[in-house]
Structure 1
Amino acid sequence: MRYLLKDRRCSGQLIRCLLLLLLLGSELLTQTAMAQPLSMLHTQGTALLDAKNQPVVLRGINVGGWLLQESYILRTDSLNAQWRIQQAMLRSMPEADVEDFYRRYRAGFVTKADIDFVARQGFNCVRLPFHYDLFLTTAQRRARTRALQNPRNIEAYVQSLSTWYDQNQLFTDTKNLEGFRLIDDVLRWCAANNLYVVLDLHAAPGGQGADRNISDCLVPLDLWKRRDAQGRLIYQDLTVRLWQQISKRYKNDARVALYDFINEPNGMTTANGLAGDNSELSALYSRLIDVVRDQNDQHVVLLEGNGYGNEYTNLTPDKLRTPHKANLMYNAHRYWCPNEAEAGDPNPLQINLIRNLAAFRNQWQVPVWVGETGENSNEWFAAAVQELNRQNIGWCHWTFKRVDGRTSLLNVARYGSVLTEAGRAALLRNSEFRNCTVNTDVVAALTKPTAVPAAFVPHPLPGTIQAADYDLGRLGHAYSDTYATRTDYRNHAPHNSGEAYRNDGVDIEAVTDAASKGFAVSHMEAGEWLSYTVTVPQTTSFAVQLRLQNPAATTAQLRIKLDGQQAVGTITVPGGSSWQTLPAGNVQLSAGTHTVKLSVEQPGAVVSWLQFVPLVGPR
């Protein structure tokens, strides 16, 4: 009997093993099937095409702040650059502990769960910004750490790089270098979701500009100026060698959409000791194109102009000193500028404005792409996406997640200070996908720019409507605000003056009023209004009241209407009033969906909530 039971147990275990193998096989087949649509991209005229010559428009997300920390993404603005964050840490931590923190940070800030989320929103690519130091060995990175700790060590670091370059000891261990392992992870996660990947050298050797935060440069513009003992522009040689190794590893990998050679060159002016005509950039791009094509790598290469990726003097195809003119794509980075199709720049080679971008594409017969755009209001996002989509120009939102971030897809809760053990632990914890909150308003602006207004959160009545929970939608449809987008890069005034909760022009601030729920709408100007979609299960009569204050010296006045016509009442709030609850009138609502509109007649009020209280039982 024991043998029979044993046989049955073995048989049961065998069946379970077979079922597990079948499930695993099915999962692998599913992943393989999902990855099949990705094919090597190429260009033809102004189009980006797949292997079947079908047009591909890349609409995606940048995963900034991950493989290169930009200070504002982590809310460490005073530290200004990743190397300065590390420098500050090293004052109180051993180097090994700093390295361990960064390994843990990179292991958790973006994972497969994050990429899965990006795919679920309907995007089709991820731009991966990375730092060149991830392709250094531990010993080589240690030499850079000594340089960032003390500027007197920079020259020794440069000479070490020169020696390693001559001895072919840079970027060669593709199986073990962290940079290649991380790229491989992202390619695998993205392919499982049918997402292309754009490889973006965000911090080039030496630093491609004068902005330390972007390039993490120890000395500004060293990529263009630093020479080694042999008189070579050694950082440029390193950049060519790095792309040679990247190309060697990924030249046949269809999961890679584009090679973005150098992110946002800037400050290349005569005042900074350079030619001022982009000739240095043109020469390096020609070298990079040659080294990639010499390996029979036909990936599309993305060129970025001077002036943060936008100005293309001496960078047009006819000016490049390379015979390889196929599979070139040109880039713009669009921030704080107009979105109207008629807005243009008098310099036809300055292409961040959409009219110039489209004209450049047509004149030079090359595809164009907006590799970065964002850092503005939802209305700006929606207008930009709508016009770019209409022009059939792809784009990539900056950025995926950030600390206390309202313009990103995901918000990471504040964590304290990165220079304390508790702060670092909180940052690692808060930035995990499961602990982030989704900015649904940002996602909607990017993915549904023309959608009709909809409830931001459900508003069943009777009940309380938080003033900050006005409808999801465009300016003039879900709300009206006099300053809803930032279109002048010189104007740093925030579109949401309270800089809290949501990313529209509506000004929302945190409040401490005990009867409120944490936020209130403030700085309300005459003519502005907010719309709320509400649902009523049964016809009911309500008393409507508002929680508000008026810190201004003059009297404020608000008006409430239903369904665009029926007036509920007008609320007058004397100047200097503290928090109070005031009646707004009575109204009967039939069963169904209605729109409540709160309008500003005279400015000054700060509104926390609207409340609909039944007068009598439902009937």
Structure 2
Amino acid sequence: MSMLRAEGPKIVNSNGKEMLLRGFNLGGWLLQESYILQTDTLNCQWRIKQGLLRTMSEEQVEAFYRSYRANFITKADIDFLAKQGFNCVRLPFHYDLFLTAAQRHARTEVIRNPTNTRKLDAYVQSLSTWYDQNQLFTDPKLEGFQYIDKVLNWCAANNLYVILDLHAAPGGQGTDRNINDTFLPLDLWKRRDAKGRAIYQDITVRLWEKLAARYQKDSRVAMYDLLNEPHNLNEAHGMSSDNKELSTLYARLIKAVRSQGDQHLLLLEGNGYGNEYTNLTPDKLAAPEKQNLVYNGHRYWCTNAPEATDPNPNQINLIKNLVTFRDRWQVPVWVGETGENSNEWFAAAVQGLNANNIGWCHWNIKRVDSPASLLRVKSYGSVLTPSGRAALLRNVQFANCVPSRDVAAALTQPSNFTAPFASLTLPGTIQAVDYDLGRDGVAYQDEYSAKTDYRSNKPWNQGGAYRNDGVDIQKIDDSASSGFAVSHLAAGEWLNYTVTVTMPGTYAVQLRVQPAATPGRLTLKLGDTTLGSVMTGQQSDTIAWQTLTLTAKSLPAGRHTLRLCIDQPVEQLSWLRFLSDNASTAGGQ
């Protein structure tokens, strides 16, 4: 591994070889976000801590967080990422991990009652004193440094680069406290200490000085992400309309890093959750030193159409805007976050970025009870109960997480990729939810398979269970089923299954269905051969689930593609069971 640098619009290594960084974010680890842990009502990390402090001592809360951090990400997680073919990780962290125990105690006193302005003012005054007395970030054994060092070692063992990401800055860089764990909106920009200083900004600069001093020659670090997702820096919130405050802080941060003799790539994030660069372009950025800068985009819930553009050329979350910005200013661009959608969107996004030689880092490696993450954490109860916390500490461990093969395939395979999701042999039972891996139009067809407009709340998967495709999958309560079913099957949709016929001949095919409000019709095909169709009744108080049968003649031995076509709508399909005339019974899959 070698130090990376910018060469025109490319990121290159010491040999001048272009490096396309493609990886995963380790979000939810060194900064908890409520939705990752399914604690949305608590909204952010300090509110989770506030809830814990109602029944636990401060020492017990700190002990829980040490255990949480020890379990959530380990070398096993990094090894797994490397085996999937990724070459970097982005490490989001909270600034409070670089505080001493005594300094963090002062912040905890605010957490107990953040509406008490005297406590918050006292904390800010303490920060000012520690800043003036050079007592911030000086201990090399601080937790933040220890965790960065661990990740660097784990990643280097797998030839993965690391991007250091200040995800929750002192004071908070925006209004969304779930992201930046702030007590008051935009306090990074607005707070002044008794001396009139923008003290949170001074402390942010000091933190990056210390990080640069420690890691200046460390080639395992690809980039410093100076400030995650600044947002709502605008006139409506009492700030300028042209990113003046952000440009000024970036100039200070760049100078702070370079003053340590550190030439690492520096990742800039624009206003508006990391995307908008008015007056931050290389010709207008206030910083005098502009070498080795990389411009960032965060891509969520937007179109992947290659021709789509935003009318603002400095808004660069759309792929064409990213390419145009890169080519115009001859600077590298990199997508530091992308995800939180369906596999169809994931695949289209990364394939579009790959085609334009733009690196990316997917969000996120782990989430509780979510098929959209690479590793699904099982539900654990409530973090506010002892049993819930104990279960959480167990469930987040790599060995207890459920890998999402469909997510990995969407991020790493070409557009025409398809493969079996499960080993399916006939005679036997096919669970309807075990259709093949692959994109919409390749492995399945669904009328709505990805969210491409952030304003739309229509779910791409009505049910959100089992897998993360556009196919609607729900948990069901049917004694004759496995617990999951494909639901909301609309006319024109279809599902492919790779099957191996071990016993050629005629089969009776049973389909376990729940009718829709109108009569439905399903057709089965094996390759180009139509096997037959079944009609369903109408949903009623007396008709819940039906087992329908058709006869499929002359199924040849070998490996085939079975396609289930929806001719007329059906509410749900649980399984398909193939019973051979040559066998009295059939085993389940």
CA distance in 1, matches of 2:360, 2:461: 24
* Maintained 8 Å contact 1:562/1:568: no
Q: Is the 8 A contact 1:496 1:504 kept in 2?
A: yes
Partner residue of 1:455 out of 417, 420, 426: 420
Deviation string, structure 1 residues 488-533 (Cα, Å, up to 9, x no partner): 0011222101111110111000011011001001111111111111
Q: 1:307 to 1:318 in 2, by over 3 A?
A: same
- Supply the distance in 2 between the matched residues of 1:398 and 1:584 (Cα, whole angstroms): 44
- Structure 2 CA distance, aligned partners of 1:586 and 1:359? 55
1:571–1:584 Cα contact (<8 Å) kept: no
- Could you tell me which residue of structure 2 aligns to residue 569 of structure 1? 533
Q: Deviations over 1:33-76 (max 9, x none)?
A: xxxxx100000100101011111000000010000000000000
Q: How does 1:486-525 map to 2 (within 5 A)?
A: 486-525=451-490
Q: How is 1:595-610 mapped onto 2 (pairs within 5 angstroms)?
A: 595-610=561-576
CA distance in 2, matches of 1:97, 1:338: 46
Aligned partners of 1:166 and 1:111: how far apart in 2?
36
CA distance in 2, matches of 1:357, 1:111: 34
Q: Specify which of 548, 552, 555 is matched with residue 519 of structure 2.
A: 555
Whether 1:98 aligns to 2:64 is no
- Give the distance between the partners of 1:68 and 1:584, measured in 2 at CA: 55
Matches of 1:596 and 1:102 in 2, distance apart? 49
1:254 positional shift: 0.1
**Residue 427 of structure 2 contacts residue 502 of structure 2 at CA under 8 Å; is this kept in 1?**
no
Query: Could you say which residue in structure 2 is the equivalent of 1:229?
Result: 194
1:332 to 297, 301, 310: 297
Q: 1:148 Cα deviation (Å)?
A: 1.4
2:176 partner letter: D
- Counterparts of 1:2-41 in structure 2, within 5 Å, are 38-41=1-4
Q: Distance in 2 between matches of 1:511 and 1:156?
A: 54
- List aligned pairs for 1:284-433, cutoff 5 A: 284-433=249-398
- Counterpart-to-counterpart distance in 1, 2:549 and 2:556: 21
1:76 to 31, 39, 52: 39
In the alignment, is the contact (CA less than 8 A) between 1:557 and 1:605 conserved in 2? no
Checking the alignment, whether the CA contact within 8 Å between 1:569 and 1:585 is kept in structure 2 is: no
Q: Which residue of 1 aligns with 2:121?
A: 155
Q: Secondary structure at the match of 1:422?
A: helix
Is the 8 Å Cα contact of residues 200 and 261 (structure 1) preserved in structure 2?
yes
Matched, 1:615 2:577: no
Q: Match for residue 93 of structure 2?
A: 130
Matches within 5 A, 1:270-281: 270-281=235-246
Alpha-carbon contact 2:531-2:551 (below 8 Å) kept: no
TM-score (norm 2): 0.97
Q: CA deviation at 1:387?
A: 0.8
Equivalent AA in structure 2 for residue 572 of structure 1:
T
Match of 1:109 among 38, 62, 72: 72
1:586 aligns with 2:552: yes
Cα drift, residue 584 of structure 1? 2.4
State whether residues 275 and 315 of structure 2, in contact with CA within 8 Å, keep that contact through their aligned partners in structure 1.
yes
Structure 2 counterpart SS, 1:567: strand
CA distance in 1, matches of 2:369, 2:60: 26
| Cα pair 1:66 1:109 within 8 Å, conserved | yes
Distance in 2 (CA, whole Å) between partners of 1:163 and 1:252 is: 31
Rounded Cα–Cα distance in structure 2 between residues aligned with 1:553 and 1:406: 29
Q: Which structure has the bigger radius of gyration?
A: 1
3-state SS of paired residue (1:66): coil
| Letter paired with 2:518 | T
Counterparts of 1:107 and 1:134, CA distance in 2: 14
Alignment of 1:230-245 (within 5 A): 230-245=195-210
Residue 587 of structure 2: aligned partner:
none
Instruction: Kindly indicate whether the alpha-carbon contact (under 8 Å) linking 1:465 and 1:609 is maintained by their aligned counterparts in 2.
Output: yes
What is the letter of the counterpart of residue 601 of structure 1?
D
State the secondary structure of the residue aligned to 1:193.
coil
CA-CA distance at 1:562 after TM superposition:
1.3
Distance 2:272 2:86 in 1: 28
Q: Per-residue CA shift, 1:176-223, capped at 9, x if unaligned? A: 100000000000000000000000000000000000000001111000
Instruction: Report the alpha carbon displacement of residue 604 of structure 1 after superposing the two structures with TM.
Output: 3.1
Instruction: Calculate percent identity across the aligned residue pairs.
Output: 64
Q: Helix, strand or coil for the counterpart of 1:284?
A: helix
Q: What are the ranges of 5 or more consecutive residues in structure 2 without an aligned counterpart?
A: 585-589
Task: Structure 1: give runs of 5+ residues left out of the alignment.
Answer: 1-37
Aligned equivalent of 2:132, options 166, 179, 187: 166
Conserved 8 A contact 1:206-1:222: yes
The answer as to whether partners of 1:540 and 1:617 remain within 8 angstroms in 2 is no
CA contact (8 A) 1:559 1:571 kept: no
> How far is the alpha carbon of 1:617 from its aligned partner?
4.8
1:5: which partner in 2?
none
The whole-number CA distance in structure 2 between the counterparts of 1:159 and 1:276 is: 30
Q: CA deviation at 1:557?
A: 1.6
CA deviation vs aligned residue, 1:324-378 (integer Å, no higher than 9, x gap): 1110000000000000110100000000000000000001110000000000000
Equivalent position of 1:59 in the other structure: 22
| One-letter amino acid of the counterpart of residue 599, structure 1 | C
The AA in structure 2 aligned to 1:396 is C
Q: Distance in 2 between matches of 1:585 and 1:272?
A: 68
Cα deviation for residue 586 of structure 1 reads 2.5
Q: 8 Å contact 2:52–2:61 — kept in the other structure?
A: yes
Per-residue Cα deviation, 1:283-337 (whole angstroms, up to 9, x for no partner): 0000000011111100000000000000001111121222211100000000000
Shift of 1:253: 0.1
* 1:526 maps to 2:484: no
State the partner residue of 2:400. 435
The answer on whether the counterparts of 1:144 and 1:157 sit within 8 Å (CA) in structure 2 is: yes
Moved more, 158-167 or 586-595: 586-595
**Could you tell me how far apart the structure 2 residues matched to 1:237 and 1:499 are?**
44
Residue 118 (str. 1) matches residue 54 (str. 2)? no
Once residues 579 and 321 of structure 1 are traced to their aligned partners in structure 2, the CA distance between those partners, rounded to angstroms, is 67
Q: Secondary structure at the match of 2:417?
A: coil
Distance 2:375 2:64 in 1: 22
Q: Quick check: 2:521–2:569 contact (8 Å CA) kept in 1?
A: yes
In the alignment, residue 133 of structure 2 is paired with which amino acid?
A: Q
Tell me which amino acid in the other structure corresponds to 1:578.
A
Change (3 A) 1:78 1:212: same
| Residues 463 and 472, structure 2, Cα contact 8 Å, conserved in 1 | yes
The Cα of 1:451 is off from its aligned counterpart by 4.3
Alpha-carbon separation, structure 1, partners of 2:562 and 2:79:
37
In 1, distance between residues paired with 2:3 and 2:417? 37
Secondary structure at the residue paired with 1:502?
A: coil
When normalised by structure 1's length, the TM-score is: 0.92
Question: What SS does structure 1 have at the residue aligned with 2:61?
Answer: helix
Q: CA RMSD in A?
A: 1.0
